[in-house]
């Protein structure tokens, strides 16, 4: 049986394989069609693997795009094909791509039988149950809940419950033990809500996020909580090798970026929770609030157009000063993490909008058409502070919202 093709000399990292030209895309569609036809004719997994290997031996640059495209054929036969490919590959980047596609198939409800090796004994001790991971939505301060449970065969369910913040590291950390039923009830009744849901996630990714938070704690010289090192050691085998946020295993960045209509519609995210409750800290805005109030109440005779221009200038100044590069990237990551929560709660369209807004935050703001999500976040935050000040004085305030 031919082996899976190796990476060609001089080829770059795996992300370079994501871009497929038109001819290559047509070739992949053709291979997918032949795979489906072969599956319909009950071709054996071994024969199907030979067929696919022969294609990739001739055109190895199709390896990653084809593996990713196999997620479009969600059945057990496709999963068996991928597991056969996984047994042959030697390079980790190909193996990781296969595992991602298998994960997507499992997420879509595909189940398959994993055949044991002939060398394995018929009777063997049960494998330890896989850890379970859960992630909460992010609030406007950057805090969220991370839960990791490790089922035991003869004992209860040890659970790590942590609140982490992308600026402050680990804020709370608890180790508890539940029965399975008690844990399910705790998740539903005590941790999850309609506005801030808890969703399932790979335990390895949850451990990865917890480790990220511990790094933040160390960076700001904040002591790690009691029990953290024991928990980290307990989950030492749960590793997440992909540096990208998990949402990019479900939404392809290349299919979203540069789609202007998606970016423009991202401002609509503020109409739903938890984005509706996202506001910037008032103390960061106080100086701009004072400038806007002065412009509104100025005794200098200005035309409405001049006053609007002056106030809009303050808005733009605030945009660039409140969101330097490090803050842009911070909010980018928050949007990416929230996109996964949206996707898992059935809001696929909103998840795509969040990814679109996040991708746009990779580059500096346009002075003509700034990132719609961040622009609206800034405006509503300013408005909330100013409106509060005016209400105390018994006055009304009109917000100018054009960039």
**Could you read off the pLDDT of 219-278 as tens digits, one per residue?**
999 999 999 999 888 888 888 988 899 999 999 998 898 899 999 999 999 999 999 999
Q: Which sequence spans correspond to the domains of the chain?
A: 14-107, 132-241, 255-393
Inform me whether the pLDDT recorded for 46 exceeds 80.
yes
Query: What is the mean predicted confidence (pLDDT) over 366-376?
Result: 93
Give which of 93, 115, 79, 122 is closest to 17, Cα–Cα: 93
pTM of the model: 0.67
Look-up: residue for tokens 């000040």?
389
Output the pLDDT for position 251: 93
Whether the pLDDT of residue 292 is over 70: the answer is yes
270's CB contacts (< 8 A; 6+ apart) are 276, 278, 373, 376, 377, 380
Are the beta carbons of 320 and 312 closer than 8 angstroms? no
| Averaged pLDDT for residues 207-226 | 96
CA atoms within 13 A on the CB side of 355: 27
**How many Å apart are CA 171 and CA 280, to the nearest integer?**
20
Question: Which pLDDT score, from 0 to 100, does residue 144 have?
Answer: 97
Q: Is the pLDDT of residue 358 over 90?
A: yes
| Encoded tokens for 240 | 């997440």
pLDDT value at residue 355 = 97
pLDDT on residue 395: 57
Could you give the CA distance from residue 60 to residue 7 in angstroms, rounded to a whole number? 7
Record the tokens describing residue 241, joined without a space: 């090798």
H or E segment to which residue 268 belongs: none
For the chain, count helices (H), then strands (E): 15, 5
Distances (CA, A) of 156 to 104, 150, 186, 371, 401: 30, 9, 14, 48, 55
Residue 23 to residues 11, 124, 165, Cα–Cα distance (Å): 19, 49, 46
Residue 119 has pLDDT above 70, yes or no: no
Q: Give residue 115's pLDDT.
A: 60
Looking at every residue in the chain, the average pLDDT score rounds to 84
């Amino acid at each position: 049986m031919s082996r899976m093709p190796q990476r060609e000399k001089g080829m770059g990292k795996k992300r370079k394989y994501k871009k497929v030209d038109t001819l290559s895309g047509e070739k992949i569609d053709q291979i997918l069609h032949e795979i489906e036809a072969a599956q319909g004719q009950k071709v054996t997994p071994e024969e199907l693997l030979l067929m696919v290997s022969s294609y990739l031996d001739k055109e190895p640059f199709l390896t990653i795009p084809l593996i990713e495209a196999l997620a479009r054929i969600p059945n057990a036969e496709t999963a068996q094909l991928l597991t056969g490919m996984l047994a042959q590959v030697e390079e980790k980047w190909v193996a990781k791509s296969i595992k991602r596609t298998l994960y997507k198939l499992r997420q879509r409800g595909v189940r398959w039988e994993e055949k044991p090796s002939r060398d394995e004994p018929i009777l063997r001790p049960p494998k330890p149950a896989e850890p379970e991971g859960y992630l909460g939505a992010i609030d406007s301060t950057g805090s969220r809940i991370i839960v990791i449970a490790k089922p035991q065969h003869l004992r209860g369910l040890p659970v790590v419950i942590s609140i982490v913040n992308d600026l402050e590291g680990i804020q709370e950390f608890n180790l508890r033990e539940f029965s399975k039923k008690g844990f399910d009830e705790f998740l539903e009744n005590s941790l999850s809500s309609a506005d801030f849901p808890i969703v399932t996630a790979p335990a390895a990714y949850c451990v990865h996020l917890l480790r990220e938070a511990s790094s933040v704690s160390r960076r700001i010289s904040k002591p790690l909580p009691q029990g953290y090192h024991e928990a980290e050691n307990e989950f030492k085998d749960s590793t997440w090798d992909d540096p990208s946020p998990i949402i990019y295993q479900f939404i392809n960045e290349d299919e979203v970026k540069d789609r202007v209509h998606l970016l423009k519609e991202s401002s609509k995210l503020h109409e739903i929770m938890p984005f509706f409750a996202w506001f910037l800290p008032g103390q960061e805005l106080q100086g701009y609030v004072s400038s806007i109030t002065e412009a509104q109440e100025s005794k200098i005779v200005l035309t409405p157009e001049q006053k609007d221009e002056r106030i809009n200038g303050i808005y733009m100044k605030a945009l660039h000063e409140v969101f330097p590069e490090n803050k842009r990237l911070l909010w980018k990551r928050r949007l990416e993490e929230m996109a996964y929560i949206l996707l898992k709660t059935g809001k696929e369209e909103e998840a795509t909008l969040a990814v679109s807004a996040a991708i746009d935050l990779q580059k500096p703001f346009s002075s003509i058409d700034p990132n719609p999500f961040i622009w609206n976040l800034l405006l509503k935050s300013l408005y909330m502070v100013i409106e509060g000040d005016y209400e105390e004085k018994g006055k009304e305030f009109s917000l100018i919202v054009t960039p």
